[in-house]
Structure 1
Amino acid sequence: MSNLSGTLYVVATPIGNLQDLSPRAQAVLREVTLIVAEDTRHSRHLLTHFGINTPLQSLHEHNEHQMTPILLQRLQTGNNLALISDAGTPLISDPGRYLLEMAHTQAITVVPIPGPSALVSALSVAGFPADRFVFEGFLPAKASARQQQLNHLAPEQRTLVFYEAPHRILDCIQDMKQIWGEQRQAAVIKELTKCFETVYRSTLADIFAWLSAQPERQKGEFVIVVQGAPPLDTKTLDLNTQRIFNLLRQDLPLKQAAQLTSEITGISKNTLYNFGLGK
């Protein structure tokens, strides 16, 4: 690897309010040779606002394998590049992972330029534990696959965070309240940093009713933050779960019986393992 290799900057851009583009981010975007963007038309508006005239190159899911070797060649010959997404911190449900992965394998210096993130911003205002959380990105668009994923996440005790599109927000909340229970606490956060920014926290049942009451509430980009499941008391496992576990336990080691019962029932394998130990 040549000592002349350039640097790949991963630059966070505003998720709504243009004032959130940091002075450091502006300086980097002015000084690099090329800005790699998810949608050059979208990003050009942002750059024009700040008087930044750096050339743009698109990088998205349909061309990243084709473009990555070309971009790596530019980095290897001393050019500094910046990677941005349409909004927020790159690679959080955005393309670019393959470029980053290949840059690391080529020992190219990668530097984060931190800034806005819908994920972190939503967590900071939802009021649920944020020291341990699970980010699931966008749930599957098809109802059956979405419901299957929500069933899989049912025993998760950490705070859960999702992104959701406006045309699926009602169906998503409906599935959540049916699978996780109407009284599970959650927050829907929409249009972060924009004029119609809204944070609404309540039960899943009330959130569904609130969204349904006025169609305009279903518009915008959503982050859903859901309180984790309460810890299961191993002494109150339902009789069907106990029956399944005990039948498997007759022929399998404790760990394997707990794993299989978890796959069947959706209950945490650790909870079932503790049940098997008599805790």
Structure 2
Amino acid sequence: MATLFLIPAPLGDADTPWLPEPERLRVLHLTHFVVEAEKTARKHLKALGVTTPIRELSLQTLNEHTPPQDVAALLMPLLAGQDVGLISEAGCPAVADPGAQLVALAHEKGIAVMPLIGPSSILLALMASGANGQRFAFHGYLPVDAGERAQALKRLEARSREQDETQVFIETPYRNDALLAQLRAQLAPDTRLAVACDLTLPTQTIISRRVRDWPAQAPTLHKRPTIFVLHAMPARPSR
């Protein structure tokens, strides 16, 4: 039976290995791929050392612009008995990624799904934050409107405090600095705020402090992929 391999992509340049060697060897035979961006996928596949010449690979695109009704057609090689690799722009496919649609359809058709080990910016940020890793939620992007974003942050901080749950989210990179400024101004002094930027890259920056203890000079996050993590101190029961 054919298998859908979920292949993590590097979080930055593919100059250094990002998959464990046993995982890399499992995908060298693949000739069919579903990718989020063809240009970067070709670069990643070349770095992985797939045995088929890059120009001869079959690459089908699945991204946020793909109509839902077109996703089923991407299963055709699998239904014909050909293994397929799913690879996103960066990190783990199907996590905060449109590839989840294809994975769901593969399960419906009885196709084997094989997730491979590789970098996940969300988990790396959570690991490095010191926040509660037993209970957490990823929310993707917060509202663009400043007022709506303020209300969203208020709800997330309250939820974190009430449920002892870490809240994880991202922002469009050119708005990172504005979001960090708002977080530092709005969150309670005892709430833990962590930023994890350029993970796995030489420019990696990770800061995790209570809001009151954050350094006066914040790092510049402009146009740098960043994960934001907040964990509010649970409310103490009244006596």
Same fold per superposition (TM over 0.5): yes
Aligned mates of 1:224, 1:90 — CA distance in 2: 20
- State percent identity of aligned pairs: 30
Alignment match, 1:254:
none
Is the CA contact (8 Å cut-off) linking 1:177 and 1:184 kept in structure 2? no
Residues 28 and 71 of structure 1: CA distance in aligned 2, closer, same or farther (over 3 Å):
farther
Residues 11 and 74 of structure 1: CA distance in aligned 2, closer, same or farther (over 3 Å):
same
Aligned mates of 1:152, 1:230 — CA distance in 2: 14
Return the letter of the residue paired with 1:102.
L
Give the CA deviation at 1:217: 4.4
Is the CA contact (8 Å cut-off) linking 1:34 and 1:55 kept in structure 2? yes
More helix by share: 1
SS, match of residue 28 in structure 2: helix
Aligned mates of 1:117, 1:182 — CA distance in 2: 29
SS, match of residue 6 in structure 2: strand
Aligned partner (choices 9, 13, 22) of residue 9 of structure 2:
13
Give the CA deviation at 1:159: 1.6
**Which segments of 5 or more consecutive residues in structure 1 lack a partner in the other structure?**
236-279
Structure 2 length-normalised TM:
0.84
Alignment match, 1:194:
201
Alignment match, 1:84:
87
Aligned partner (choices 32, 35, 48) of residue 34 of structure 1:
32
Larger radius of gyration: 1
Alignment match, 1:233:
237
Residues 165 and 208 of structure 1: CA distance in aligned 2, closer, same or farther (over 3 Å):
farther
**Which segments of 5 or more consecutive residues in structure 2 lack a partner in the other structure?**
none
Give the CA deviation at 1:40: 0.8
Task: With a CA cutoff of 8 Å and minimum separation of 6, indicate the structure with the bigger relative contact order.
Answer: 2
Aligned mates of 1:140, 1:84 — CA distance in 2: 27
Aligned mates of 2:214, 2:98 — CA distance in 1: 31
Deviations 1:161-220 (A, max 9, x none): 222333222322233334422442211111011110111122336648433xx6x44341
- Establish whether residue 102 from structure 1 lines up as the match of residue 109 from structure 2: no
Aligned mates of 1:110, 1:64 — CA distance in 2: 22
Moved more, 47-56 or 145-154: 47-56
Return the letter of the residue paired with 1:204.
V
SS, match of residue 41 in structure 1: helix
Structure 1 length-normalised TM:
0.73
Aligned mates of 1:109, 1:41 — CA distance in 2: 27
Alignment match, 1:218:
222
Aligned mates of 2:98, 2:61 — CA distance in 1: 11
Question: What RMSD over aligned residues (CA atoms) do the two structures have, in Å?
Answer: 2.3
- Establish whether residue 113 from structure 1 lines up as the match of residue 111 from structure 2: no
- Establish whether residue 60 from structure 1 lines up as the match of residue 63 from structure 2: yes
Aligned mates of 2:26, 2:89 — CA distance in 1: 17
Give the CA deviation at 1:64: 5.0
Give the CA deviation at 1:37: 0.8
SS, match of residue 201 in structure 2: coil
- Establish whether residue 162 from structure 1 lines up as the match of residue 160 from structure 2: no
Is the CA contact (8 Å cut-off) linking 1:89 and 1:116 kept in structure 2? yes
Is the CA contact (8 Å cut-off) linking 2:60 and 2:74 kept in structure 1? no
